Structures are given as C-alpha cells and as structure tokens.
C-alpha cells in the first residue's frame, strides 16, 4: 500500500517554511535518492521532538518532472498557466521543487530545514525561502478565519490524495498548486467591518455565512466556493498560511488535490471565467505575484524510483 507524505493532511501548525527550489543540471539520480530519504529524516525528527508536530511535503514541478522521473507521469499534470481576465492577473513562476516544512516549534522547524538541505544542498539552489506563521487562531491577515468550512478527518484524505482506482502508479500522491498573494493592508483597513464582511461573505467574528439576503454573488464565500455550480465538491484541501513583514504581507496558498485540474477550475471561477459573471471582490485587495504547479508523490513511489 502506498504511503503518502504525512504533511499533506497534517493539522495546522504555528510556523512554516516554504522553499522554492531549482535543481542543478546533471544530478537526477542523486536527487532521486535524496528526495526518497527526506521523509524518513523528517519522521526521525518528528519522533525525537514529538511535541513539535513536525511535518513536511516535497513536491516536484510540472516542468521538471520528466527529467527527474522519466518513466511515468501523473495524469492531468500540467504547468501553471498565466491567467489574465481584464485587469486581474495570475502570473506563473515555475520552479523545479517545492519543500514545505511546518512545526509548532520554530527551533525544530529551523533544525529540520538545516538537515533537509544537508541532503539536498549539493544538487539544488534555493530560489526563495518564505517564513509563514499561524495568525490569531487560524485567521488570515484580513482578520477573517481562513477556510471556516475546511474538511476534517478522513475527508481530507479523500480530497487530497490520488485514489488507487484513479491512478495505481501514483496512489497516495497529491497535485499541489502554489500561489503567493500580497495583501494591500492599508486599503483593507480603511474599510468598515460591515464592508469587509460583504466582500468576504462571512461574519468576521465567528466565520459564519452572512444571511442569504446580504450574500453577494461577488463575495469571496460564493465566488471561491468549492461547490460552484453543482453539489459536486471540487477535491481541494488548502494548507494556507500568512506570511510577511511590515512592508509586504499576505497569504501563501497551497492547494492539494486528488485531481490535477481542480485548482485551476477554482481559480478561473474566482476570476469570473467559469460561467460566472462576477469575480471575487477580495481580488481587489490582494495580488498574486507567484504561481506554480507541482506533484507530491507518495513515499513508496520515491523510494521505488530511487532503487531503495
């Protein structure tokens, strides 16, 4: 039975790193071996510091996959396309690898990052290292609860992990789309709480939906719904975390899915491209500056490909 990477469905943490990485040329065999060893390294640290709730996910970029794993490719695994609708833009920034590490202890997070890159360092270059954090008990920097209707328990696995009947080779893997959004905090804070709630479609204090009479089709709650036009839910599990400093802040969006096309369907829906006439009003206050598509294979697949 395929063993999935534990970090895909792990619970939320207080701290996180996201590393965007490019591989050096000519080291595919060595990198396959080190990637296969990485989950065991993180598991060892997790056992050693059990109270830290340490977890990690390593994912391979759509443009680099065939170089690293030429024998097989996940179905519907495509590069992140740049999207433009009127003045709304979702840029693409491809990377070879993405490594997400999360923990409730920052010192353990730092230690895990150090040891992971002792494995990878001879074969890769870090393009970006982004520190993310938990904010106000699961809120994003707008002050609203992020994903107030997030799935729980086994439902997370059903949404995020490729099922055996769908693709036997990549069972237990997950399609991952990554975006980084910058928040115009000054403009957002000039709005009253009532104005913010109309944009979000949620009550700020408890995350409940606004009454239907107040709920706009352009609200974030409606336009970003995972059940847009039918009762069929898009298979998406979000592991979002705020990031930033005083001058630049926003949200890291990591959408894991059992299906390679669901995230882009959701994103186009927010931009008004999927049969909806209205776009997500929250996009007037946030701007994506990075987007990329990855696949997080199962531990079993990585070990098999590395010859372990």
Encoded tokens for 275: 């049969």
Q: How far is C-alpha 299 from the chain's CA centre? A: 19
Average pLDDT estimate for 5-27? 97
CA-based R_g, the chain, Å = 19
Read off the pLDDT of residues 57-71 as tens digits, 9 standing for 90 and up: 999 999 999 999 999
Encoded tokens for 269: 């829906």
Residue extents of the structural domains in the chain: 6-306
Q: Taking Cα atoms as reference points, which of 139, 58, 72 lies closest to residue 100? A: 58
Instruction: Look at residue 86 in the predicted model and tell me its pLDDT.
Output: 87
Read off the pLDDT band of 228 (50, 70, 90).
Answer: low
Average pLDDT estimate for 234-249? 95
Burial class (CB in 10 A: 0-12, 13-18, 19+), 254: buried
Q: DSSP letters of 57-99?
A: EEEEETTTHHHH-TT---TT--PPPPEEETTEEE-----SEEE
Instruction: Look at residue 227 in the predicted model and tell me its pLDDT.
Output: 78
User: Rounded mean pLDDT of the chain?
Assistant: 95
Average pLDDT estimate for 6-20? 97
Instruction: Look at residue 308 in the predicted model and tell me its pLDDT.
Output: 80
Q: pLDDT at residue 226 above 90?
A: no
Cβ atoms of 55 and 7 within 8 Å: the answer is yes
Looking at the domain that runs over 6-306, which CATH code has it been given?
3.30.70.1030
Read off the pLDDT of residues 164-205 as tens digits, 9 standing for 90 and up: 999 999 999 999 999 999 999 999 999 999 999 999 999 999
Cβ atoms of 249 and 182 within 8 Å: the answer is yes
Cβ atoms of 9 and 55 within 8 Å: the answer is no
Average pLDDT estimate for 261-265? 96
Cβ atoms of 100 and 9 within 8 Å: the answer is no
Read off the pLDDT band of 276 (50, 70, 90).
Answer: low
């Amino acid at each position: 039975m395929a063993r999935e990477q534990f970090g895909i469905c792990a619970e939320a943490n207080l701290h996180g790193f996201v590393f965007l990485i490019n591989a050096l040329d000519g080291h595919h065999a060595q990198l396959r071996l080190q990637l296969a060893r990485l989950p065991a390294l993180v598991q060892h640290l997790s056992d050693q510091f059990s109270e830290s709730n340490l977890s990690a996910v390593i994912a391979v970029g759509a443009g680099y996959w065939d170089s690293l794993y030429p024998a097989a490719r996940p179905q519907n695994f495509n590069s992140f396309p740049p999207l433009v609708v009127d003045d709304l833009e979702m840029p693409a920034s491809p990377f070879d690898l993405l490594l997400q590490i999360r923990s409730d202890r920052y010192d353990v997070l730092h230690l895990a990052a150090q040891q992971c890159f002792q494995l990878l360092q001879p074969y890769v270059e870090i393009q970006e290292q982004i520190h993310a954090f938990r904010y106000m008990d699961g809120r994003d920097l707008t002050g609203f609860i992020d994903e107030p209707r997030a799935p729980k328990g086994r439902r997370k696995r059903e949404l995020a992990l490729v099922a055996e009947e769908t693709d036997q080779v990549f069972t237990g893997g997950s399609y991952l789309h990554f975006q980084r959004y910058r928040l115009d905090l000054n403009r957002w804070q000039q709005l009253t709480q009532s104005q913010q709630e109309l944009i979000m479609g949620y009550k700020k204090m408890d995350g409940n939906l606004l009454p239907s009479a107040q709920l706009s089709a352009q609200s974030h709650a409606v336009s970003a719904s995972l059940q847009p036009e039918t009762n069929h839910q898009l298979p998406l599990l979000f592991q979002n975390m705020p990031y930033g400093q005083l001058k630049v802040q926003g949200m890291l969006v990591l959408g894991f899915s059992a299906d390679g096309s669901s995230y882009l369907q959701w994103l186009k829906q927010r931009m008004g491209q999927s049969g909806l006439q209205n776009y997500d009003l929250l996009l007037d206050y946030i701007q994506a500056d990075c987007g990329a598509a990855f696949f997080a294979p199962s531990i079993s697949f990585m070990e098999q490909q590395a010859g372990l």
